[in-house]
A and B are shown apart, each in its own frame.
Chain A
Amino acid sequence: MRALFIVFGKEFLENLRDRRTLLSALLFGPLFGPLMFGLIISRTLEQSVLESDVPLKLTISGSHFAPGLTRYLESRGAKLTRRELSENEARAAVRGRSAQIVLLVPEIYPKLFAAAKPAPVLLFADSADSQTRKIADRARNMLGIYANTVAQLRLEVRGVSPLLTAPLAVNDVDVATPTGRAVLVLGFMTYFVLFGLLMGGLYLAIDSTAGERERGSLEALLSLPVARAALVGGKVLAACAYMCISLALSLTAFVWVFRFVPLEKLGMSANLGAGTALIFFAICLPFVPVGATLMTFIASFTRSYREAQTYLTTVLLVPTLPIAFASVYSLKPTSKLMFIPSLSQHLLMTSVLKDEPIARLDILISAAASLSVALLLFTLTARHWKRETMLG
């Protein structure tokens, strides 16, 4: 046990003195996620807030054929540009981007409208362009409301109750809490938390195994009267320590970043204060030894620093798999899923974000399962270190 702490102390100190390693472990890793996340989210939120305020811009041709429709659109705040275009010209205008969308009222419109038959209007838009697709949707929506109003008036004029055309009255009842809605936006944040955690120990795991071999200090170390498990234990423990530090930094950065993200504008609140950050830390803590042992295990098989780096960067992606799986199948937290490290942490953190109650048992299962995986990986690593092939 004494040897374990000696190894731990030395690895911790050595990593602390390596500026490059420290930068990636304690700066790049934990800050990259929160910053990028904050930037992207505040951009998207600002945009969606802006869009609903901006008036609909619409190029209309043949407006004199449909004065009622034109008046209606203007009364709903649409900015109309009047141009007289043929069908082909309208198509060319949208394609050539001289107009975003064009509403064309053909000559035949007034005649059919007067006869209470379906009167055609043509809406030109480029559905491949996400920006104009949104505008076209808004225009279609307005046209639909107009058509509905006219239909009801026509029925009333003929002495028929317009209610006959509405056999159902569908009412949407949205039970999503404001924080629940925010989770859609924050869904991937949990990955960045786990990413930051893993980055903290990445270079230490490489340096204390593959680095030790490449440097040529491994053989001398292995010829000491120290149990191999104590050597591995000290190295894993040092990686754990750095992972804890970077996890704490990462969560602090998230709390800080979310103070500047305008979630309230959409009627959401990010349930991410210092208290939540502490709960997140507790939830992620059992995942720390999983990351540390997994990285040490894999790096122990590699011959050089470079080789280890290649394999371990893929390990950084490992926690994404269950999280991606969870979002594709929109998994709900169940006790069974708590047996999977990284997925269980993701689900628990998401529940906390949503302000949902968490079963205490689930937290226990998540922690116990993660620690068991870590113990298994540690045993495998220690066993590998006892082999002769360890010398390389």
Chain B
Amino acid sequence: MKNSGNFVGRSLMGVLSFLKDSVFAEDYASRNGFLQGLDPRLKAVSFALFFITAIFLKRAELLILLYLICLALAVLSKINLGYFLKRTWVFIPLFSLFIAIPAIFSVFSPGKVIATLQLHYFQLTITREGLQAAVLFVLRVLVSVSYAVILSLTTRHTELLRVLCIFKIPQVFIMTLGMCYRYIYLFVEIIENTYLSIKSRTGGIAHYKKGQKIVAWNIAYLWQRSYVLSQEVYSAMLSRGYSGEPVILDSFKAKSGDWAWLFLAVIFFLTLLYLNGKLI
């Protein structure tokens, strides 16, 4: 039951539930859509090309075209467009808007004046070059974030981890990341259950000093649990023959459709770069 006065409690449960939903939910990844059906390795390579394209494009219309293709891919992959837009646009102000706003003024981007703002003794001038640079920057972030979100939504986290092999990331590093993913959930559950057990014994209200003590003890307990767990997991690895260099089974199998998709992505990448060079 929700307690409107318990801000910290609700925030904690909210964060935990967000973690569970965002990190562990594989609802979209298990759907039978276009991107879900592609070989994760080739999909990752094609998306790497899209990211590179977004970095090099200097024309807003081409970035918009790249964004529209991303939206089309989302629809083809059976992703709810409203959910997708909400998930991407929430990051845009965070990553770009606050950085881009100062760039529109003449202090940072001198050029042709299009508007002037008078703030008491200060005069802020917006320039055409500044505005263009800001729009380009926001668009670039928008496209990159959108492609990153669609890739993570349509690929299981376990596959994303294995895909890292093709980028020559050491296997031991990938395995450690996989274990982090595996055990975060366990610790999220421990925190959740600990919070509920404290709540059940304190009735939801505790003096702040007592609260501080409980939180400190629980942080220490969680640290101790994770330390013991790491030792036990290492023993379990040794028991099954681990000797410092993990071996994995490559179970990916690319079909002709996957190669066709990669071919199309390369053609699209080169065309956009060509148009970009021609339009400048």
Is B truly associated with A? no
Q: Which residues of A line the B interface, CB within 8 A?
A: none
Q: Which residues of B line the A interface, CB within 8 A?
A: none
